[in-house]
């Protein structure tokens, strides 16, 4: 059974959904942060193995949240952060859509669904 670290997913979604965080991370160098959109997506979907389990049809956070995460992954696949400067990226309309989807998924995951995940969710 594949293991998924729930906190890593939540942390990645929090970063992806927050305009304020991105602004601070990108333009306020005194905060000791290092953030990139591409790394955020890698953390959320690929390094976490979430992409693999969602594609395999596993139940991770419940149907609604999982569907939303699949939708989010499609949206993020269309945007490559290396094509844009941070100043351009932060106000890109696609980025705003991604933030909204991420915020929605985050809310659903935090609310919980009362069911049992088919992966090892720790």
Q: Which stretch binds other proteins (CB under 8 A): 58-66, 86-94, 103-111, 113-121?
A: 86-94
Binding of residue 85 to other proteins (CB under 8 A): yes
Decide if 65 contacts 21 (C-beta within 8 A).
Answer: no
- How many residues form the binding site for other proteins (CB under 8 A)? 41
CB 73 within 8 A of CB 54: yes
Select from 10, 18, 36, 103 the one that contacts other proteins (CB under 8 A). 36
38 vs 115, beta carbon nearer other proteins: 38
- Pairwise CA distance, residues 86 & 73, whole Å: 20
Binding mask 1-20 for other proteins (x = CB under 8 A): -xx-x--x--x---x-----
CB 62 within 8 A of CB 3: no
Site residues for other proteins per CB under 8 A: 2-3, 5, 8, 11, 15, 25-27, 29, 32-36, 38-39, 41-43, 45-49, 51, 74-75, 77-88, 97
């Amino acid at each position: 059974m594949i293991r998924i670290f729930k906190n890593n997913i939540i942390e990645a979604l929090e970063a992806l959904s927050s305009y304020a965080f991105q602004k601070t991370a990108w333009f306020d160098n005194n905060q000791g942060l290092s953030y990139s959109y591409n790394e955020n997506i890698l953390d959320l979907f690929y390094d976490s193995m979430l992409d693999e389990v969602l594609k395999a049809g596993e139940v991770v956070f419940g149907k609604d949240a999982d569907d939303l995460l699949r939708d989010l992954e499609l949206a993020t696949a269309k945007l490559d952060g290396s094509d844009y400067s941070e100043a351009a990226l932060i106000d890109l309309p696609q980025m705003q859509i991604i933030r909204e989807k991420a915020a929605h998924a985050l809310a659903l995951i935090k609310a919980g669904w009362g069911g049992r995940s088919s992966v090892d969710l720790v």
